[in-house]
Chain A
Amino acid sequence: MSDAIVLTGRAIRLSRRNLDAVITAMLLPVMLMLVFVYFFGGAINTGTEYVTYVVPGVMLLCAGFGSANTAVTVSNDMTGGIIDRFRSLDIGGTAIVAGHVAASVLRNAVATAIVFGVAFLIGFRPDADPLQWSAVAGVLLLFILAISWLSACFGLIARSPEAAGGFTFLMMFLPYPSSAFVPIGTMPGWLHGFAENQPVTPVIETLRALLLDQPVGDSAWRALVWCGGILAVAIACSGALFRRRTV
Chain B
Amino acid sequence: MTSEPAIEARGLTKSYGEVSVLRGVDLSVARGSVFALLGPNGAGKTTTVRILATLTAPDAGRARVAGFDVVAERHQVRRAISLTGQYAAVDENQTGEENLRMMGRLTRLGRAEARRRAQELLERFDLAGAGRRTVGTYSGGMRRRLDLAAGLVGRPEVIFLDEPTTGLDPRSRQAMWEVVKGLVGDGVTVFPTTQYLEEADQLADRIAVVDGGRVVAEGTSAQLKERVAGQRLELVLGGPDAFEETARRLGARLVRSDADRLTLGVATDGSAAQIRALLDELDPGRRAVDRFTVRGATLDDVFLALTGHATTHDKETSGV
Contacts and interface: CB of A to CB of B under 8 A. Distances in A.
A22 to B, nearest CB: 13
B91 A84 contact: no
Contacts of A2: 105, 108
Nearest to B88: A81
A159 interface: no
Closest 8 CB pairs of A and B: A81-B87, A81-B89, A90-B78, A85-B89, A17-B93, A6-B105, A88-B83, A82-B89
Given A6-B105, A247-B56, A88 B91 contact: no
B295 interface: no
Nearest to B74: A90
Interface size class of B (residues with CB under 8 A): 20 to 34
A80 B134 CA distance: 17
A125 interface: no
A88 B54 CA distance: 7
A82 B105 CA distance: 15
B85 A84 contact: yes
A231 to B, nearest CB: 26
Contacts of A17: 93-94, 134
Contact of A90 (B57, B79, B93, B105): B79
A91 interface: yes
B85 A81 contact: yes
B55 A246 contact: yes
Most B-side CB within 10 Å, residue of A82, A85, A91 = A85
20 contacts: A2-B105, A13-B94, A14-B91, A14-B93, A17-B134, A80-B89, A82-B89, A84-B50, A84-B53, A84-B89, A85-B151, A86-B106, A87-B54, A88-B54, A88-B82, A88-B83, A89-B103, A90-B75, A90-B78, A247-B56
Given A9-B102, A89-B154, A247-B56, 14 more contacts: A2-B108, A6-B102, A10-B102, A13-B94, A13-B98, A18-B93, A81-B89, A84-B83, A84-B89, A85-B89, A85-B103, A85-B151, A88-B81, A90-B78
Interface size class of A (residues with CB under 8 A): 20 to 34
Interface string B61-100: 0000000000000110011011101111111011000100
B15 to A, nearest CB: 13
Interface in A4-20: 6-7, 9-10, 13-14, 17-18
A13 B54 CA distance: 29
Interface in B228-264: none
Nearest to A13: B94
A176 to B, nearest CB: 33
A247 B51 CA distance: 11
Contacts of A85: 83, 85, 89, 103, 150-151
A89 B107 CA distance: 7
Contacts of A91: 106
Nearest to A90: B78
Contacts of B89: 80-82, 84-85
B83 A6 contact: no
Nearest to B82: A88
A88 to B, nearest CB: 4
A3 interface: yes
Nearest to A18: B93
Contacts of B81: 88
Contacts of B151: 85
A13 B53 contact: no
Contacts of A3: 106
Nearest to A11: B91
A61 to B, nearest CB: 27
